[in-house]
Structure 1
């Protein structure tokens, strides 16, 4: 009774432990680098691939605080022993705009592009993805990155990296995202979509008509998540990945000037319909969800980084071809 009576009770919303919950809980935003542990764990080599489930160790805060920001979960605690209380909440530095500016901004056409943040800090990965309106005039990449780092308790240097990454992606997409494809002809492309969050990997292969706006990536992702029983974190992940794939194909069509012809695999004598695949029964055209081991996750991360470098080289070659044709 005496211990409970001595604890100070904070006013609601006076403290926050959001950054620690994001880092320590099972989320796709903050990925702890398992191979790089602090000196307390270097004496024992642990193969995390042997564990099927996601284990939580009691001393996780020891190396987490040491590798990220020392004693961030302890400073400002009430009672000293309760690490769940958090720290004093900092007031969010929102920018308040004039009503006239809000009305002008609302009248601008909304053109969304996919933005992906993928960087390392103290040996851990910070991964986030969202849609950005290139006609947004009020919220800037600088302001967004500052709020992001404030919520996640990250230093100012990380904020600068996020700002630079957002600006680079905006510049990359702005040149062709506003170009409209002809609506009078069908532009079918084959999409190979792959998305993994934590240990779950979703893969799919399907056709998509670039000239048809009746089905959006957001609606498609909602159907997939509902049909396959995936977590809601897959909603933005699938729609964002589909936006990226479609914009890349749109860019290739604009630069090359021709549409890839797809083979008609429908039943003989029909222009369209279900694919006729007597050998494999269309197994490659169905969605698949599998649980990966830690070794498979690391292997796929290496392959993903290689693919990113390859796509950047291809994008640079496509841009060079486009400049020569002008």
Structure 2
């Protein structure tokens, strides 16, 4: 066995002592860090237990004072609907109860086409919509107040005019009586009912709608005796096929209902019984479409008349359309003043739709 020099043992002891000291210092530093973390957690726990008054010491000031907001140091509280801040505190709130919803659900929906067209100083309002005749949850006056608030119109000249116009159109509305309903009240004659019956009562619908700079012109046939014909579904399909905005969807549905109402009112005034029998009045028969006799193919020279035409109007064309609309309004007012008693609506001069574009600063 060879002798090992003493210097080697001394060097090894020195290395071991140095390593042991380094590990001891590392363990002591780790213990100090863990104690500091424990003290921080214990302090936070004490502050949490003290209540929300010391929350800012834990979570900081938050958004206090930033942008004029209030401090977030207060304890959060649930706000109930009656405590919320209303954006239109000067107007009566539109509120519906569950009992009102149940009552409306039990009633049949009867949509009345409403047309608004007013000029007052620098303001012009042109709008069309439908109103459920059996829905009494919203008074007309409250609707007029909120409509003026939506369009930022002065309430003084417009609210009363809107209320009066809607009330007159609702009172003047005559619901269509479908043949299935009319049979129950019709008087049975000596002639066979089925031999003279013709439920087909088709009318020409003519669309001329201008919204913004877009103008839609179209013509098609519509059976007013078909109870399940829905103008809203037809308008939705048309807008999907032509790529039109939703503004056109509501305008098309309104135009269909408005023209159907003109023909229904005319038939009612001439004494038609809506029981499937032929129309007795010669002028009304001429205004209606001929009954289908087996050939449903349209002649080629009429194909262009029964096709949608969508065009973008230039500024000079828009000005010409505006002047034409003003002449039409003045003509209708003169005809209204000269009428005495019930008169047949003019089926050759169907109303056109001009809607006022409302520019929103957000959308």
Calculate the TM-score normalised by the size of structure 2. 0.56
* 2:177 is equivalent to residue 180 of structure 1: yes
The separation in 2 between residues aligned to 1:89 and 1:100, in whole angstroms, is 26
* 1:167 equivalent in structure 2: 167
* 1:194 equivalent in structure 2: 208
Q: 1:310/1:245 Cα in 2 relative to 1: closer, same or farther (>3 Å)?
A: farther
* 2:295 is equivalent to residue 275 of structure 1: no
* 1:109 equivalent in structure 2: 108
The separation in 1 between residues aligned to 2:178 and 2:329, in whole angstroms, is 26
The separation in 2 between residues aligned to 1:194 and 1:315, in whole angstroms, is 26
Q: 1:282/1:291 Cα in 2 relative to 1: closer, same or farther (>3 Å)?
A: same
* 1:47 equivalent in structure 2: none
For the residue of structure 2 that corresponds to 1:94, the secondary structure is: coil
Please report how far the alpha carbon of residue 121 of structure 1 lies from its aligned counterpart in structure 2 after TM superposition: 4.1
Does the 8 A contact of 1:264 with 1:272 survive in 2?
no
Q: 1:8/1:305 Cα in 2 relative to 1: closer, same or farther (>3 Å)?
A: same
* 2:322 equivalent in structure 1: 301
Q: Structure 1 unaligned runs (5+)?
A: 1-5, 12-87
Please report how far the alpha carbon of residue 293 of structure 1 lies from its aligned counterpart in structure 2 after TM superposition: 1.8
* 2:309 equivalent in structure 1: 288
Does the 8 A contact of 1:199 with 1:291 survive in 2?
yes
The separation in 2 between residues aligned to 1:227 and 1:296, in whole angstroms, is 26
For the residue of structure 1 that corresponds to 2:245, the secondary structure is: coil
Q: 1:100/1:260 Cα in 2 relative to 1: closer, same or farther (>3 Å)?
A: same
For the residue of structure 2 that corresponds to 1:8, the secondary structure is: helix
Question: What aligned pairs does 1:73-222 form with structure 2 within 5 A after superposition?
Answer: 89-91=87-89, 93-157=92-156, 158-173=158-173, 176-177=174-175, 179-183=176-180, 185-222=199-236
Q: Structure 2 unaligned runs (5+)?
A: 1-64, 71-85, 181-197, 273-278, 345-363
Please report how far the alpha carbon of residue 90 of structure 1 lies from its aligned counterpart in structure 2 after TM superposition: 3.1
The separation in 2 between residues aligned to 1:206 and 1:315, in whole angstroms, is 32
1:226 to 218, 240, 265: 240
Does the 8 A contact of 1:252 with 1:318 survive in 2?
no
Q: Which has the higher helix share?
A: 2
What RMSD in Å do the two structures reach over aligned CA positions? Answer: 3.2
Please report how far the alpha carbon of residue 108 of structure 1 lies from its aligned counterpart in structure 2 after TM superposition: 2.4
Q: 1:309/1:132 Cα in 2 relative to 1: closer, same or farther (>3 Å)?
A: same
* 1:70 equivalent in structure 2: none
The separation in 2 between residues aligned to 1:169 and 1:159, in whole angstroms, is 16
The separation in 1 between residues aligned to 2:69 and 2:253, in whole angstroms, is 40
Please report how far the alpha carbon of residue 185 of structure 1 lies from its aligned counterpart in structure 2 after TM superposition: 1.1
Q: 1:147/1:114 Cα in 2 relative to 1: closer, same or farther (>3 Å)?
A: same
The separation in 1 between residues aligned to 2:289 and 2:340, in whole angstroms, is 25
* 1:46 equivalent in structure 2: none
Task: Provide Cα deviations, 1:105-152, integer angstroms capped at 9, x if missing partner.
Answer: 432222110112222344232222211012222211101011122233
Q: 1:197/1:217 Cα in 2 relative to 1: closer, same or farther (>3 Å)?
A: same
* 2:264 equivalent in structure 1: 250
The separation in 1 between residues aligned to 2:308 and 2:218, in whole angstroms, is 4
The separation in 2 between residues aligned to 1:309 and 1:216, in whole angstroms, is 33
The separation in 1 between residues aligned to 2:230 and 2:241, in whole angstroms, is 17
Instruction: State which structure, 1 or 2, has the greater radius of gyration over its C-alpha atoms.
Output: 2
* 1:65 equivalent in structure 2: none
The separation in 2 between residues aligned to 1:161 and 1:122, in whole angstroms, is 14
